[in-house]
Amino acid sequence: MEHKLERFITAQKGVFQTALSEVQNGRKQSHWMWYIFPQIKGLGFTETSKLYALESLQEAEEFLNHRVLGPRLILISSALMELDTDDAYQIFGSPDDLKLHSSMTLFSEVPNADPIFSQVLGKFYGSRKDNKTLKILALLR
C-alpha cells in the first residue's frame, strides 16, 4: 500500500518546508493543502482533491505510520498549536479552514493516533469533529 502514498511524497517534495514556514508564520500563502492535510475521499470534487483524498481510515493509518508522511503531519500540526490564534480561518482562509477541520477529524479517528489531532480540534474547533467526515467514515465501516 505504501506505493499509493508515494503521490504524497512526490507532491510534498520541495513544498513541505514552505508549508511549515507558512503555518509557523500564521498565514498560508501558497497552494498545498490537499497533500499536506489530506481528507477522506468524498469531500472534494476537484481533480486535485480527488487525487489526494485518502480512501479509508486504513489508508489514513498507513499515512500516519509512513516513515516520512506521519512525522511531517505531526510536525505541521504541532506548529499550529504554537500559534497565538485559535482562528483557523485567519491562518488558512476559506475553504482551507474547513479542509483542516476534516483532516484533523480523519486522523483523530485513527486508532491510537497521536493526540495532536484532537488537540488541534480542541484549539481551533471547540473539540467538534467534522460531521461530513464522520458520516463518510461511518459508511466505510
Average pLDDT, the chain: 97
Place of cell 466505510: 140
Q: Tell me, what's the pLDDT at 1? A: 55
Mean pLDDT of 73-96: 98
Mean pLDDT of 124-138: 99
Higher-confidence position of 141 and 15: 15
pTM comes to 0.96
In the DSSP assignment, the letter for residue 14 is T
Q: Is the peptide bond before 95 cis (omega within 30 degrees of 0)?
A: yes
d(CA 109, CA 115): 10
Amino acid (one-letter) located at 90: Q
Over the stretch 42-79, which tens digit does the pLDDT of each residue have?
Answer: 998 999 999 999 999 999 999 999 999 999 999 999 99
The answer for residues whose C-beta is within 8 angstroms of residue 30's C-beta and 6 or more apart is 15, 18, 19, 22
Q: Tell me, what's the pLDDT at 141? A: 83
Q: Tell me, what's the pLDDT at 75? A: 99
- What are the grid coordinates assigned to 13, written together? 517534495
Mean pLDDT of 125-138: 98
- For CA atoms 107, 112, 117, 122, the dihedral sign is positive
pLDDT of 2 over the 70 cut? no
Q: Which fold has domain 2-140?
A: 1.25.40
Over the stretch 28-46, which tens digit does the pLDDT of each residue have?
Answer: 999 999 999 999 999 989 9
Domain residue ranges of the chain, discontinuous segments joined by +: 2-140
pLDDT above 70 covers what percent of the chain? 98
Find the helix or strand (DSSP H, E) in which 13 lies: none
Q: Which of 117, 41, 109 is nearest to 73 (CA)?
A: 117
